[in-house]
Structure 1
Amino acid sequence: MSIQRRTFITAVGGGLAAGLAGCLGNEETDGSAEINGTTLTVSTTTSTYDTGLLDEINLPFEERYGVTIDTVSQGTGAALETAERGDSDVVMVHARSLEDEFLEDGYGVNRRDLMFNDFVVVGSADDPAGIAGSEDVTGAFDAIADSGTTFVSRGDNSGTHTKELNIWEQASSEPGGDWYQEIGDGMGDVLLNADQQGGYTLSDRGTYLSMQDELDLEIHVQGPIEGGPELLENPYGIVAVNPAVHDNVEYDLAMAYIGYVTGPEGQKLIENFTANGEQLFFPQALSEDPDFQQYVPEGWSASDGE
């Protein structure tokens, strides 16, 4: 389904409650809300942290419940590994295949769709590979490889790196050689590196827009938000760490947080969050027709549990 024209449903009635995450996100902000736990640890992808989104959505929750949120900003793979060790209470990431492994291995429960944006291919204004305006991202990757122009990769098993490798798998070329540089760092540092070298990289739109004033990079291949290929869609999910695996986790607090960020207040904060006058993330948790598949690994059916 195209995400270009998805709309945010603000009306929430009894049939549109927050689902498995509960309805704690609808508490009145009178300071009377109470819940077990004093510190919630969220392991999350660098894009939610670097853009400043978490500062925007976490403060109201902290004030309401009188708790502290500790954020561990990592690539998606590392964020999930932190949760697997029981060192975080909830994960907010953007690589569905890795999220599904996390659920299937029993480390995560009560996954919810949270929001989406998309990926874009950015590079220097002179565009040595001639990919500007391309509607075929695999063809754009092939052109970069053929030109031998620097491509800076996250190389860190993050959601962005996972998407990049998926694109290379569908392209005709293979990444490698002097032109292909894996730096094992976060999105912000990758963008700065690509800028310094006059090269290309794959970025989530949110981080690029939040740093646009610091860069001489331009978007050459758009994602589906601006009519580009669906291959560049970038959905985010949020998952509680399973208290049956790690009894030290703050499960009640994690579920309250999930209810809050997927409820009307949290989703509105996500919708209204901007940088340089542009919306960075698009809320996805509330819908007139909730999607059951958000709670379980993709492709799972009830017969799988028989």
Structure 2
Amino acid sequence: MFPRSLAALCLALLVPTLALSQPKVTESYGSGPKTFLLATGSPGELGLLKLLGEAFAAKNGATLQWVKAGTGESLDLLKAKQVDMVMVHAPAKVDQAVKEGWAVKKTLIGSNEFFIVGPAADPAGIARLASAVEAYKAVAAKQAKFFSRGDNSGTHQKETAVWKAAGVEPSGPWYIVTKDFMTATLKRANDEGGYFMTDSSTWVAEGKNMPKLAILFKGDKMLVNTYHALAQPKGATPGAETAAAFIDFVASKEGQDIIRSYGKAQYGESLYNDADYAKKYD
């Protein structure tokens, strides 16, 4: 007879494995039989992924299932073979994934940039400074309230790189870690009167809803934010082939036209730059 205690142990080990193999799908686009899972953050939150996914699905009999995750989590899901592809903004991590062999088809798809926003009164005086590093140093010196996503997302990784360049290890009551996504953290900065480094796309879409915040610093090349797509190696997951075809679509003229024009009708300006523009900073 199979010992009850051993059976319980096997079940305890199996349940987390099953949970990990089924990441939560946030939204699906299309209704075709060729299903693939894509993990990303802001492009999904802001609606760009929906437009790209529906255009691709209509022509290819596909269904795109979006798993909402920041860059760090997205790459973890890809490495664990829990999704078929990712769209992320952490170039060094992308290169590492390709080098280690668990991701392929690195493709530059576009870019935006980061803005440092904060109270219009600008208590740390960052608006007059010449670089992001100087701005971060000033915030730390003043111990002005600063919000961090703290979630290993691409935004958090960029923030960490700027702190490191500034020679600052942020800590204390002024440094607030939200463990949340971009829009939610931006809203906290607005409601609680602090600084935050947001991507320009989210600001264009949501800035009108943040009346207590203003763009106080932008324009440093260090804050350019390039996006890449990565896919599973061929045959590694059921949707790998369809995911690779989707990356080709995003990089095509049709896909790039969608990216470079997205947001113009609703906000008066594009939320993202296309890959040709992004090449200058890649």
Shared topology, TM-score over 0.5? yes
Q: Deviations over 1:97-146 (max 9, x none)?
A: 11122112211111111101111101111111111243311111111111
* Shift in Å, 1:200: 0.3
**Please, which moves more after superposition, 257-266 or 95-104?**
95-104
1:264 aligns to what? Answer: 253
SS of the aligned residue for 1:267 comes to helix
Check the 8 A contact 2:118/2:189 in 1, yes or no: yes
Alpha-carbon distance between aligned partners in 1 of 2:205 and 2:130, rounded to the nearest angstrom: 24
Spell out the pairing of 1:1-306 with structure 2 (5 A cutoff). 38-44=34-40, 46-216=41-211, 217-222=213-218, 228-243=219-234, 246=236, 248-274=237-263, 275-284=266-275
Letter in 2 for 1:234: N
Letter in 1 for 2:38: V
Q: Deviations over 1:239-274 (max 9, x none)?
A: 111236x3x332221121011000000000001111
Check the 8 A contact 2:70/2:151 in 1, yes or no: yes
Check the 8 A contact 2:33/2:63 in 1, yes or no: no
Q: What TM-score does the superposition give when structure 2 sets the normalisation length?
A: 0.83
Alpha-carbon distance between aligned partners in 1 of 2:257 and 2:194, rounded to the nearest angstrom: 36
1:7 aligns to what? Answer: none
* Shift in Å, 1:215: 0.6
> What is the RMSD of the two structures over their aligned residues, measured on CA atoms?
1.9
* Shift in Å, 1:43: 0.8
Q: Deviations over 1:257-305 (max 9, x none)?
A: 0110000000000011115212111111599xx89xx8xxxxxxxxxxx
SS of the aligned residue for 2:58 comes to helix
Letter in 1 for 2:39: S
SS of the aligned residue for 1:41 comes to strand
* Shift in Å, 1:183: 1.3
Q: Over alpha carbons, which structure has the higher Rg? A: 2
Alpha-carbon distance between aligned partners in 1 of 2:227 and 2:252, rounded to the nearest angstrom: 15
Letter in 2 for 1:264: K
Gaps of 5+ in 1: 1-35, 223-227, 295-306
Alpha-carbon distance between aligned partners in 1 of 2:207 and 2:128, rounded to the nearest angstrom: 19
Q: What TM-score does the superposition give when structure 1 sets the normalisation length?
A: 0.77
Extract structure 1 runs of 4+ deviating beyond 2 A. none
Check the 8 A contact 1:91/1:241 in 2, yes or no: no
Alignment identity in percent? 34
Q: Which has the higher contact order (CA 8 A, sep 6+)?
A: 1
Alpha-carbon distance between aligned partners in 2 of 1:172 and 1:105, rounded to the nearest angstrom: 30
Check the 8 A contact 2:150/2:179 in 1, yes or no: yes
Check the 8 A contact 1:42/1:92 in 2, yes or no: yes
Letter in 2 for 1:242: P
SS of the aligned residue for 1:88 comes to coil
More helix by share: 2
Check the 8 A contact 1:262/1:286 in 2, yes or no: no
